[in-house]
């Protein structure tokens, strides 16, 4: 279905709202996000509990819907404690730095097309920029300072290690995530979120750029520090990571709010860049003319956002936390090289499409480009001597351990004497009488 400019906003449609309407839209966005956090906490606890054959929150309010409100009131009214050894200024500012950039990053998400709001034609989006996606990446990088400062200001070894892990993790996954957006920029020809959504009126980028979407789906867990990549707060090894010294007070509530805001932003960016934004899905867009016009677009955006957040919760309930060396290896040795190879193919396809002006000959060129790329990867894998030496060394180690176990069955285990020998390494077996003493 071909849409008109009256439905798809562009950059020229922004900056024309009266100041009162901008304030109203900002307040509505803030209220929507805050209510979304309350519902998201309840929904995540409910989904995980049902997957674990539990009921979850079911006491406060109908179906436990008021449990998040009760928890928020409890944390807000508890005594705000500052440990003696902390840097009080940074200790207080760290949770704020974690929350504010996440709110700002959510402001560039388009929720719909052009709508009539209080008699004014306006985009259903707070703000858009020519470099809106880069702004989102910048806000995600700034919020990491909050995690690092929380660990540094706590003056605790566990908190400091959690902050350092977060810094190393964001460097790894910010690069891979940024590279996954390059294919979107190449196909859409813009970095504006509203125009990227408009470029998906026929085909969503999740189908045209499936490898980029899969890489982003992995990176968003590392960016948001959610399971299986929540190493900065790994309670199994770091007690609580960067938030170890934060008690259940208002600052702890801000940290939890920042975590959910990052998850919401990750889901919103996935919907905007890859899942068509507020455009109606097929076959609704074909059967219903104007299915995403006006405020109907917000309905489709919300359904896609809800499914994306459900996927994030499902992954948390299903996968374990990975080791830190596995996390870094995945980011540097797998995601970035695969992303670069995929971008080479995307750039070749776009170059051929522009040279052939949409004729049918470009499919042959795309096939040849893909063949050359796959052939190059196969040759690289064949002559990758580093991985070959690593595999050979691991095979030799396994064979040596197997040979050791063959000669000495108890090697490497607990030294329990065999039951069929009266003596073993100088230890004499004692017969235990079954009678009474």
**Residue 46 — φ and ψ, nearest 5°?**
-70, -45
The residues of the chain scoring below 70 in pLDDT are 1-7, 232, 234-240, 248, 353-373, 376-377, 379-388, 405-406, 408-437
pLDDT of residue 306: 92
pLDDT tens profile 14-73: 878 888 888 998 899 889 988 888 888 899 888 888 888 888 888 888 888 888 888 888
Question: Is the Cβ–Cβ distance between 137 and 179 less than 8 Å?
Answer: no
Kindly state the DSSP code that residue 66 receives in the 8-state scheme: T
Cα(223)–Cα(140) distance, rounded to whole angstroms? 8
Characterize the bridge pairing of strands 114-117 and 120-123: antiparallel
Checking 287-291 for CB contacts under 8 A at 24+ apart, the result is 289/1
pLDDT of residue 129: 86
Q: What is the pLDDT of residue 322?
A: 80
Residue 174: name the closest of 214, 138, 132 by CA: 138
Beta strands in 54-165 (DSSP E): 114-117, 120-123
* Residue 187 and residue 197 in contact, taking contact as beta carbons nearer than 8 Å: no
| Residue boundaries of the structural domains of the chain | 11-322, 336-403
- Cα gap 244→158, rounded to integer Å: 7
In what helix (H) or strand (E) does residue 301 lie, and over which residues does it extend? helix 296-318
CA angle 113, 196, 284 (to 5 degrees): 55
- Rounded to the nearest 10 degrees, how much is the dihedral formed by the CA atoms of 260, 98, 124, 137? -100
How far apart are the C-alpha atoms of 414 and 283, rounded to whole Å? Answer: 63
Q: Give the pLDDT confidence score for residue 170 in this predicted structure.
A: 78
């Amino acid at each position: 279905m071909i849409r008109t400019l009256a439905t798809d906003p562009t950059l020229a449609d922004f900056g024309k709202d009266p100041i009162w309407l901008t304030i109203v839209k900002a307040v509505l966005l803030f209220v929507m996000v805050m209510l979304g956090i309350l519902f998201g906490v309840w929904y995540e606890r409910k989904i995980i509990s049902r997957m674990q054959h539990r009921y979850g929150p079911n006491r406060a309010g109908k179906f436990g819907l008021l449990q998040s409100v009760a928890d928020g009131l409890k944390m807000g009214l508890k005594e705000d404690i500052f440990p003696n050894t902390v840097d009080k200024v940074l200790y207080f500012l760290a949770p704020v730095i974690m929350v504010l950039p996440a709110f700002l990053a959510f402001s560039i998400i388009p929720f719909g097309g052009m709508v009539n709001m209080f008699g004014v034609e306006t985009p259903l989006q707070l703000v858009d920029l020519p470099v809106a996606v880069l702004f989102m990446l910048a806000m995600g990088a700034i919020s990491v300072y909050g995690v690092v400062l929380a660990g540094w200001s706590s003056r605790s070894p566990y908190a400091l290690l959690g902050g350092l892990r977060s810094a190393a993790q964001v460097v790894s996954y910010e690069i891979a995530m940024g590279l996954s957006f390059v294919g979107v920029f190449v196909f859409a020809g813009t970095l504006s979120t509203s125009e990227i959504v408009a470029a998906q009126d026929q085909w969503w980028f999740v189908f045209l750029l499936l490898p980029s979407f899969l890489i982003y789906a992995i990176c968003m867990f590392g960016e948001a520090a959610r399971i299986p990549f929540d190493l900065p707060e790994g309670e199994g090894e770091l007690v609580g990571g960067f938030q170890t010294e934060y008690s259940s007070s208002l600052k702890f509530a801000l940290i939890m709010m920042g975590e959910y805001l990052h998850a919401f932003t990750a889901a919103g960016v996935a919907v905007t860049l890859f899942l068509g934004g507020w455009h109606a899905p097929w076959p609704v867009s074909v059967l219903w003319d104007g299915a995403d016009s006006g405020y109907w677009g917000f309905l489709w955006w919300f359904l896609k956002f809800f499914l994306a957040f459900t996927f994030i919760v499902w992954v948390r309930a299903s996968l374990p936390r990975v080791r830190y060396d596995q996390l870094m290896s995945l980011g540097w040795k797998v995601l970035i090289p695969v992303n670069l190879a995929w971008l080479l193919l995307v750039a070749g396809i776009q170059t051929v499409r522009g040279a052939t002006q949409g004729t049918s000959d470009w499919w042959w060129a795309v096939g040849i480009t893909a063949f050359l790329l796959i052939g190059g990867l196969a040759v690289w894998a064949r002559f990758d001597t580093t991985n070959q030496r690593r595999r050979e060394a691991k095979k030799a180690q396994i064979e040596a351990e197997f040979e050791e176990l063959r000669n000495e069955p108890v090697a490497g285990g607990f030294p329990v004497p065999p039951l069929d020998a009266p003596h073993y390494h100088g230890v004499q077996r004692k017969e235990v009488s079954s009678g009474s003493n």
